Amino acid sequence: MADPAVAGDAGTEVARPSLSDALQVGIVELIRGEGLEPGDRLPAARVLADRFAVATPTMREALRRLQATGAIDIRHGSGMYVNAGIDRLVMANPNPPRLGGEQLVQLLEARLLIEPHLAGLAAEHRGAAARAELRDTLATAERCLAGNDQRLHEANMAFHRAVATASGHRILREVLDSLLSVHAGEQREILQLFDDRSRDHVEHRAVLAAIESGQRERAGELMRRHLEDVTAVVRGRLAPS
């Protein structure tokens, strides 16, 4: 068996890529080389194993690791498909710890550093398709105001994602998407702690109006006020009585 590490400069050891690592790179190169797009179906694991001259269980392990990064989607009984995550530059941890108490506030503070800037950029760019998506997400949220928390939560998160998409800033969009995706449970908890559906929706509407009218500074300021409002309420309700 080959030595798993090689000597680097000054006697340091550099780990060699594992077979699974090499297979992941090879599969991604195959996807890109063949021009496959998100939603396109991949060959079966045994076909890929034959192509790369490895055992099928070894190939399955590499495929599972690619699924964990969001690069592919394995659907039992259907097959394997290229996923939108294939082009992500910022990866989310597929096994995140649960956040509690003060960390919920820190999650909101992290969003405060990102989202006002994204809202301002969205107002500056304000493409027609992006504005239509923003209107659609808020229309969905409005229909869910008297419904269950899960549907409203999904609509509200879709609005924040749509603002990030409208900004045109790919890296910050992916950072925000990672925060919202990895900590989806905590975001639902924040919604329950805030517990003011109408106010939340009105503030979202104000952000949209500023974006649609191209007011960059106002859009950023309204997003900042919205998140500061939520943060203050959540911090107050988490404080010891």
Could you tell me which of 69, 62, 25 has the C-alpha nearest to residue 45? 62
Residue 195 lies in a domain: yes
CATH number, domain of 31, equals 1.10.10.10
Query: Does residue 120 share a domain with residue 40?
Result: no
SS (H, E, C) 13-72: EEECCCHHHHHHHHHHHHHHHCCCCCCCEECCHHHHHHHHCCCHHHHHHHHHHHHHCCCE
- 77 and 159 belong to one structural domain: no
Asked if 125 and 199 sit in the same domain, the reply is yes
Q: Quick one: 208 exposed, middle or buried, by C-beta within 10 A (0-12, 13-18, 19+)?
A: buried
Residues 122 and 80 in one domain: no
Q: Which of 53, 87, 121 is the last residue of a domain?
A: 87
How much is the pLDDT for 105? 84
So what's the pLDDT on residue 182? Answer: 65
Whether residue 6 is contained in a domain is answered as: no
Report pLDDT for 2: 42
Strand partners, 73: 81
Instruction: Please report the pLDDT score of residue 16 as a whole number.
Output: 52
The domain in which residue 26 lies consists of 17-87
Question: Is position 4 within any domain?
Answer: no
Residues 141 and 109 in one domain: yes
Is 12 a member of any domain? no
Q: Do 169 and 50 belong to one domain?
A: no
Alpha-helical regions (H) of 69-169: 101-125, 128-143, 149-167
Question: Is 2 among the domain residues?
Answer: no
Query: Do 79 and 105 fall into the same domain?
Result: no
CATH of the domain at 204: 1.20.120.530
Residue 87 CA to residue 204 CA, distance in Å, equals 29
1 domain-assigned: no
Whether 96 is covered by a domain: the verdict is no
Say if residue 137 is in the same domain as residue 106: yes
Give the tokens for residue 12.
């340091």
Decide if 92 is inside a domain: no
Give the number of domains in the chain: 2
Please write the tens of the pLDDT for every residue from 186-230: 777 777 777 788 898 999 999 999 999 999 999 999 999 999 988
| pLDDT tens figures, 68-101 | 777 888 887 788 898 876 766 555 555 454 555 6
DSSP-derived letter for residue 107 is H
**Chosen domain end from 87, 110, 139:** 87
How much is the pLDDT for 88? 62
Question: Is 133 in the same domain as 203?
Answer: yes
Same domain, 74 and 23: yes
Domain boundary among 40, 59, 87: 87
* 162 and 59 in a common domain: no
Q: Are residues 108 and 218 in the same domain?
A: yes
The 10s digit of each residue's pLDDT in 22-70 is 888 898 888 888 888 888 999 999 999 999 999 888 888 888 878 877 7
Over residues 116-127, the pLDDT tens digits come to: 999 999 999 988
